[in-house]
Each structure stands twice: as C-alpha cells, then as structure tokens.
Amino acid sequence: MFSRVIGEYGRIARDTLARWLAGYRVHPNLLTIIGLVVTIYAALLFATGRFLAAGVVLIVAGACDILDGTLARLTRQVTRFGAFLDSVLDRYSDVIVFLGLMVYFARPTSEQSLFYVVLTGIAMVGSFMTSYTRARAECLIPQCRVGFLERPERLGLLIIGALTEVPGAEGSYFLHKMPAVLWLIAILSHWTVAQRVYYTWKMTQAVDVEASPSAPVSPPVRALSSAHSVAAAETRVEREATS
C-alpha cells in the first residue's frame, strides 16, 4: 500500500516535469546527453573526495535518465536511435562514476587504498556485465530482466553511499557507508549476471528443443536368411522391371 502510493506520486512528479520540459521543446536526446554531462561532473566530485555534493549531482543525473524516456513518449519522439543512444550513454555513465571513485581511492591521501581501487573495479565490471548480459540475452530470447541489481538499484545505492559520507561526522552507524555500498554492488552485480546466464540457458534450451526436428527413425533392415530368399528377391525385381 505504502509503496504503491509512493510510486503513484513519483509518476505524477515525473509526468509533470516531462510536460514542463516539453513546453520548452527540449528534445529527449538532448536530455540524455545532459544526463551524461551531469554524471561526468559527479565523477569529478567523487574523484576529489566531495561525496556529499556528488550524491546530490547523481540525483539530478538519475532524474535526467528517468525523464528522457517519459519525455520521448509524451512528445511522440520515441525512435530506435533514441533508445540506442540512451543505452550507450548509460554504459558510459556507469563506467565514469566508478572511475571517479577509483581515482579517489588511488590518490595519495589518508583514504588511499589499493584494496578499494580493486573492489571498485570489480563493481564496475559487474555493473557493465549486468547490462551486457541482458542486451545479449535479448538477442536470443524475448526478455531477460531477472536479477536484483539493475541500473536503478545501482544508482540508488551509489547515491545513498555518497550522501552518508558527511565530512567531520564520525561515530554514527548510519554514516560512511560507501565502502559497504561498493561491497554490495561488487557481489550482487555478479550474482545478477549469474542469474541472467542461467535464465538464458534455460530459455534457450527450451527454444532449441522446440525448434529441433524429430530425428527420422529408419526401419530395421531384415537380412535374408538364405540364398534361396536372395534369389527369389532378384527374380521379383527382374519381373517388375520388365512388366
């Protein structure tokens, strides 16, 4: 009940903003590109250690990601290229954010940590592969949306992790959760990949079984048991040939 109410108000806010943008004749593809530029700015903030500001900027980037599709449907500008562009720039956005975090953990500061550089890299690979496995699977089967950690969930986790990194606030259980967020993404993204691989295997197995023709069963050849039988058969063939 509560989640349904939140979802309904969220849709109202999304549609209202999309109508406002449509009034200014903003093209959906332009909004997609703006979302990428905003994400690059968030990555720069991550790289310089300004996590709280990066979290706020990521909220704006996420809003652009949500609104471009709604704006395209509202203004009847849904195109194949628009969907392709959105997918490509989403992949860039995913990678850029993680690169910003890797730069932060690699810098020669008190927060420098090779371990977290590697962990962030693992999370980045998992995020990319989550999207790739779905795209590749849907070339073979109608749909592959199984798994927990899709892009909205990853973005939400990164926003939560960034907003909990409050400078100067120590000792609170609810703060400094970015390391925990990276652990979650690193584990759950690869788990989602495994789920999608297994799901695609099951679906393609079923399709292959339905598509494969039944192997023809040839009747057993019965050997003639004696020379008399062979001769009789040859005689029968000769008669049929001359008739």
* Active-site residue set: 90
For tokens 């309904």, name the residue. Answer: 8
Q: Is residue 70 within 8 Å of residue 12, measured between CB atoms? A: no
Alpha-helical regions (H) of 48-177: 51-74, 80-106, 114-137, 151-163
Q: Residue 197 has which token pair?
A: 């691989």
CA distance 186 to 184: 6
Q: Residue 77 has which token pair?
A: 């500008």
The candidate with the shortest Cα–Cα distance to 160, out of 191, 181, 138, is 181
CA distance 100 to 57: 13
First to last CA, the chain: 87
Inter-helix orientation angle 80-106/28-47, to 10°: 10
Angle at 32 between CA 26 and CA 35, to 5 degrees: 110
Burial environment of residue 205 by CB neighbours within 10 A (0 to 12, 13 to 18, 19 or more):
exposed
Q: Residue 89 has which token pair?
A: 């720039």
